[in-house]
Amino acid sequence: MTRMGPKQVLVPTVSFLLLLFCLGCKCRASELEATQNATLKVDASSQLARKIPDTLFGMFFEEINHAGAGGIWAELVSNRGFEAGGLHTPSNIDPWSIIGDDASIFVATDRTSCFSRNIIALRMEVLCDECPAGGIGIYNPGFWGMNIEDGKTYNLVMYVKSAEAADLTVSLASSDGLQKLASVTVPVAGTSNWTKVEQKLIAKGTNRTSRLQITSNKKGVVWFDQVSLMPSDTFKGHGFRTELISMLLDLKPRFLRFPGGCFVEGEWLRNAFRWRESIGPWEERPGHFGDVWHYWTDDGLGYYEFLQLSEDLGAAPIWVFNNGISHNDEVSTAAIAPFVKDVLDSLEFARGSANSTWGSVRAAMGHPEPFPVKYVAIGNEDCGKKYYLGNYLKFYNAIRESYPDIQMISNCDGSSKPLDHPADLYDFHVYTDSKTLFNMKGTFDKTSRTGPKVYLYFHGLLCLFTFMTWARWPFKCFGIDLVHSPASPGLSLGMFLP
């Protein structure tokens, strides 16, 4: 009898196992073939239909990544009032710069403005007796260069004063100043009073990275303040870029949540968005530094403009207001009353009659009819902070008493357990990747259908599967963030469901 070695035993064993595996695969393939055909029946009868509301889609706007200043707001001049450097002078005038050198020009900010809420102005002293042919002066590149287009008209507004008569040349030029696209001469009378200058510049060429420049050939001193340049063809004349608003209109949004986001809170309350300081004549708005996203806004795009944009888009406005809480400091509930009054005033501005205190301010700005504000969010992502619940209840009760029809949105999550405070809706913000999001599809399966609805906001994701599964979820709003889209860097999509 011959003894078999380990390798001789292994060969027939492996062969047998492979044979079994192949037979198994063939059987499995046969089973799959036998079960490939299936029938799916859909009952689309009207008795089982659920009406999709007219307010299915909406948007969320935040002043982030220059979504407003340098984005949908058409102002081309950055730091138009020279306020971005702060109240102490001399100050930084960035992105303004000089045309010439230290021997020919000296510029500095001072506190001589004619506007009480914008006290900073720019003093330009031309030092040369025989200045270069192109002149000496200042220029502003706007936000990454001004997109000047051939044949278009641009409206210039600025305030100037000079003790002696002088002629200024205002031009649109290429980034190096060599290509002139438009130019106009502005005579300045010798007076100690500020003069408002209004001119139209018609472009004779196209340049995507242009600049606005103001020059002089005469020795002397000229002051400037509130220098604005806007295209004449803004959407409905309301100050928004027509081409971008056209894109938003194509989305057919039915609500607009504004103005943020963290922009509403601020890192510190002193830098939070203040609606009162963002209304009235644009020249008198002080602007503020958005310390969360680290850039200055002149607040030309203010509370009134957001309400106007909602109307222009045919969208219901959702006003997100500060509830006395920032990222780093909070107002105690015992001291929150002035903030509550401030919000009630903001609602009177939007909804009050033209004869009311704040409604008359709105009417004076050109909108005598009230704006239909029916949704407000009490704070932004503030749930769990020390004074949130106490402050929330103060706002909720005051608004419910004065405006019982307004729907109020809480920052607290009510998906897994009932809220411990009254609310019509609640925020549910998700910042995650698509895989995690899809795994969350059952999040609202056990949520009460009789309690407040949810404002669901996703950051950076397009989650189209929700169109098929919305009937399972107690949605009121669904948001899709497009915060990194070049055309709309602070806009979101959303949906309203019953």
Strands 220-231 and 407-410: unpaired
Q: What is the pLDDT of residue 416?
A: 83
Q: What is the pLDDT of residue 33?
A: 56
pLDDT of residue 385 exceeding 50: yes
Nearest C-alpha neighbor of 137 from the set 230, 226, 211, 231: 211
Residue 265 host element (H or E):
helix 262-265
Residue-wise pLDDT for 260-285, tens only, equals: 899 999 999 999 999 999 999 999 99
Are residues 396 and 362 in contact, defined by beta-carbon separation less than 8 angstroms?
Answer: no
Nearest C-alpha neighbor of 64 from the set 398, 292, 362, 314: 292
212 SS3 class: strand
CATH of 57-73+234-496, one of 3.90.230.10, 3.30.420.40, 3.40.30.10, 3.20.20.80: 3.20.20.80
Residue-wise pLDDT for 327-345, tens only, equals: 999 999 999 999 999 999 9
Alpha-carbon distances, residue 65 vs 69, 279, 434 (angstroms): 9, 22, 23
Q: How many residues does the chain have?
A: 498
Burial class (CB in 10 A: 0-12, 13-18, 19+), 158: buried
Enumerate the domain spans of the chain: 57-73+234-496, 97-229
Average pLDDT value for residue range 46-72: 84
Share of the chain above pLDDT 70, in %: 84
pTM confidence score:
0.84
Residue-wise pLDDT for 448-496, tens only, equals: 878 787 766 655 433 332 322 333 333 333 333 333 333 334 555 444 4
Nearest C-alpha neighbor of 213 from the set 70, 102, 297, 96: 96
Choice between 53 and 221, residue whose per-residue pLDDT is larger: 221
Superfamily of domain 97-229: Galactose-binding domain-like (2.60.120.260)
452 SS3 class: coil
73 SS3 class: strand
